[in-house]
A and B are shown apart, each in its own frame.
Chain A
Amino acid sequence: MALEVKELVKKYGDRTVVNHLSFRMDHPGVYALLGTNGAGKTTTLRIMLGMLAYDSGEVLWNGKNLDPLKVNLGYLAEERGLYPKYTLMDQLLYFAKLKHVPREEAKKRIRYWAERLEVEEYIYPETKVKGRKPKEKTADQLSKGNQQKIQLMAALLSEPELVVLDEPLSGLDPVNSDRFKSIIRELMEKEVYLIMSSHQMETIEEFCSDITILNRGNAVLQGDLNQIKKSYGRVNMMVKCDGNIEPLIAQFGLNVIKKTPDGYHIRVTGEEQAMAFLQAMVQAKIPVIRFELREPSLHEIFVEKVGTVNE
């Protein structure tokens, strides 16, 4: 199976919001769409899901046009949506029915995900009030985080083969964020295709093998994340010493990216320059507490790429 987006173009009047975007996902895993606010990530996802018409291009699933009604897909929207006044069970069963999941099977899956996401108390209330049947919760009685969990349940009830997650971790506390991450890992193990958009670069680095960075509708960087990082080389040197290294930095003509109490973040031209600098510190008898040479983080690549384009 494969997901392929070919030369996608979407315009609103004279404004091009997605400009000839192409990417391909050949194997299960997580593909990341990154970009600043208004870069065109959500528009791209909506087009892929058949919600928005587009001007040109193609969205293919196994070589055929992706029809959301024919492909079993799950969608967690950026702006979460639940009926505020209906009970959670009613709306989950409704969403499952629209995804062709039989009622009894849907109930089993709801139970499973409710336990997994620890929201049973809202869907299966047990406390009787004045001897009356306990009242089921409605969505507006839940916190934002819990609503997000219910929304994720709705997206996964049909056991989809393709899952689209638009900013899945935004607004979650660290505990629930970890819970969501473990579910993403579970889906990866089940060989599900996941498309994720996020501003949280650490999360993307944790899960995604392939990325596309969008800026104002244009793909400014695409490909395998490890390859991208490798192409940059190990040019980030983190140094923490018990002494003054600024004369040495000046001597080597290095570019200090950031100076913090935890040390210096310095940009070097390559490993040779970094080793030469380390030798110079040792020769100058400056006690080195920490020395690290690493590839740039996704955050740094993102800022560099988007910043450069916008400049």
Chain B
Amino acid sequence: MNKEMFFGWKEVCAFSYIQTMKSKAMKAMLVIICLLILFALPVVTLIQSGHEEEKTNINTVYISGNDEKIARKFVTSYSGNYENVQAEWISQTEMEEKKTALENDKNADYVLIDIKCESNMDSEDYGLEFESFYGAESEITKTDLQNFSEYLLGEKERFLLSNSGLDETEMANLLRKNQFQIQTVNADGTMNRVNEGLNQMEYAVVYAYLMVIMFAVIIAGSKVAELIVTEKTSKVMEYLLTSIKALALMFGKVISTLLIVLTVMAAFALSFLGSLVLNYVMTGGENGFWPQILRDVKDAGIIQAFSPMQILVAVGIVFLGFLFYGFIAGLAGATVGKVEELSEGLKLFTFAVIIGAYLVIAYIIYASAGGETGMFSYLVYYLPFSSVFLVPIYLILGKISLQTGIISMVILAVSTLLVWFFVTKVFESVLYHNGSVVKLKEILEIYRNNKRERKSTEVNHEK
């Protein structure tokens, strides 16, 4: 392999990138989606704030319970949407009377909450049980009561700790979210978190990453195949191959689609950022839906302190993953004789993506359930089809060691090289095929024939 083999990849990359970004379809898609992202957050916040301002129909809450000491803790001043709601303690007898009164009272603006407390630790019912009642004929709705019960349960710990003699700081410390992490200390002094499964937030983050990267890989792969099949069916390919090697042509195409996907993602990210700013300005810094999610991710403390090396390996795996799938998609594009058959030709590529993504989905479901993953972990980390969908985010979350990440990257790099050479070996032969879609078996046959031909050509040149 020499420098000439790669001549022209930059030109191919630049041309494909510029022409794709210049196309009307791309411009329209970018503008529409960016606008949707830009205005989605403020609109959601507006809708939500509208709902929040909707006042509850509950005016009074009558609380009773078998354990008066515990139940009375909930008779307190409420906050937020319920700051005007009056809480009052009543006896069990009064509770029964008020229940009866609810039957026909259309003007009943109160709800009843009966708190049952089981203190026997051996009992199946150990703990607190909230039973609530409202008048079916009254103005109070089921939603009013559901919202109030959510509020009550959310603030349960605070109510129970109230009047316990703790000051505000002590209360805040007690109410903090807790995490227990297990780490191993390695011989070289480095430490790694033991993979103790995925908690809910980690699961959400890994799943979100998987969805984004899978979307990007599919978009990039489809674009590579589309570019190749367009050049093939319009016969431009024949002209191009007099100026550039198939190896460089394929590389240029894959890199250009990677850049296209990155540009699109960057545009989406900027729009989202713009949306956050807009939302902040609109709400005057008040909480919104998405900012809350971002805060939750931060508060969950799942993102560990990572080194630049970890970032580098994670980015490297994403880059190689795009190349790996890009070359497979390129081959899929070359096997097609007509643009209409592209979806059929892409079966091979789609199948590869599905295998990789489904393995990761199965793995994270199993891991979040706390199952012992064992060999399955190594299969998912090291298999080139799946590693790009999991390893980068696991590195960032500190779920795997840097060594595991590097091994995964090396395996992916070698696989990508092999796929690249395999694809370019059959690419030229498949390019002149104008019949029905070339099957995998036929591709392998072409590869064997080409290998034989090249050997004999090389022998002749040597002579």
Contacts and interface: CB of A to CB of B under 8 A. Distances in A.
Given A55-B457, A56-B460, A94 B238 contact: no
A11 B457 CA distance: 12
Nearest to B23: A85
B240 interface: yes
A13 B449 CA distance: 8
Interface stretch (B4-12, B99-107, B109-117, B313-321): B4-12
A154 B8 CA distance: 16
A276 interface: no
A249 interface: no
A173 interface: no
B238 A54 contact: no
B461 A81 contact: no
A311 interface: no
User: Which one of B19, B239, B450 has the greatest number of beta carbons of chain A within 10 Å?
Assistant: B239
Contacts of B429: 52-53
B428 A55 contact: no
B156 interface: no
A229 B237 CA distance: 39
Contacts of B130: none
B456 A86 contact: no
B415 interface: no
Contacts of A81: 231, 234-239
B142 interface: no
B235 A69 contact: no
Interface string B225-248: 000001100111111111111000
Interface in B353-412: none
A13 B240 CA distance: 27
B415 to A, nearest CB: 25
User: Which one of A69, A70, A80 has the greatest number of beta carbons of chain B within 10 Å?
Assistant: A69
B241 A69 contact: no
Contacts of A80: 235
Interface stretch (A95-103, A109-117, A192-200): A95-103
Q: Is the interface of B mostly helix, strand, loop or mixed?
A: helix
Nearest to A140: B234
B245 A69 contact: yes
A134 interface: no
A98 B11 contact: yes
A86 B243 contact: no
Interface string B440-463: 000000000110011011001100
Interface string B192-221: 000000000000000000000000000000
A98 B235 contact: no
Contacts of B230: 83-84
A53 B452 CA distance: 10
A90 interface: yes
A263 interface: no
Contacts of A52: 428-429, 432
Contacts of A51: 238, 241-242, 428
B289 interface: no
A281 interface: no
A38 to B, nearest CB: 14
Contacts of A65: 461
B333 to A, nearest CB: 15
Nearest to A52: B428
Given A51-B428, A98-B240, A98-B244, A69 B4 contact: yes
B243 A82 contact: no
Interface bin, chain A: 35 or more
A99 B243 contact: yes
A77 B428 contact: no
B421 interface: no
Given A69-B7, A83-B234, A94-B15, A53 B239 contact: no
Interface residues of B, number: 32
User: Which one of A46, A81, A84 has the greatest number of beta carbons of chain B within 10 Å?
Assistant: A81
A58 interface: yes
A239 interface: no
A95 B244 CA distance: 11
Interface string B17-52: 001000100000000000000000000000000000
B234 A53 contact: no
User: Which one of B236, B242, B457 has the greatest number of beta carbons of chain A within 10 Å?
Assistant: B242
A83 B233 CA distance: 10
A23 B175 CA distance: 90
A68 interface: yes
A212 to B, nearest CB: 21
B457 A95 contact: no
A95 B238 CA distance: 12
A49 interface: yes
A68 B457 CA distance: 16
A77 to B, nearest CB: 5
Contacts of B7: 69
Contacts of B244: 69, 98
B451 to A, nearest CB: 10
A48 B163 CA distance: 93
A52 to B, nearest CB: 7
A125 interface: no
B234 A84 contact: yes
Contacts of B8: 98
A81 to B, nearest CB: 3
User: Which one of B230, B235, B236, B428 has the greatest number of beta carbons of chain A within 10 Å?
Assistant: B236
Contacts of B456: 55-56
Interface in A13-33: 13
A233 interface: no
User: Which one of B8, B15, B231, B244 has the greatest number of beta carbons of chain A within 10 Å?
Assistant: B15
B311 to A, nearest CB: 35
A169 interface: no
A75 interface: yes
B239 A95 contact: yes
B218 to A, nearest CB: 23
Contact of A79 (B19, B238, B242, B245): B238
Contacts of A84: 230, 234
B243 A95 contact: yes
12 contacts: A13-B449, A49-B241, A49-B242, A52-B432, A53-B429, A53-B454, A54-B453, A70-B4, A77-B235, A81-B236, A83-B234, A155-B239
Interface of A: 13, 46, 49-58, 65, 68-70, 73, 75, 77, 79-86, 90, 94-95, 97-99, 151, 154-155
Given A51-B242, A81-B234, 8 more contacts: A52-B432, A56-B457, A81-B236, A81-B238, A81-B239, A82-B236, A151-B239, A154-B239
Ranked nearest first, the 7 interchain pairs of A and B with the lowest CB-CB distance are A81-B235, A98-B243, A81-B236, A79-B235, A53-B453, A94-B15, A77-B238
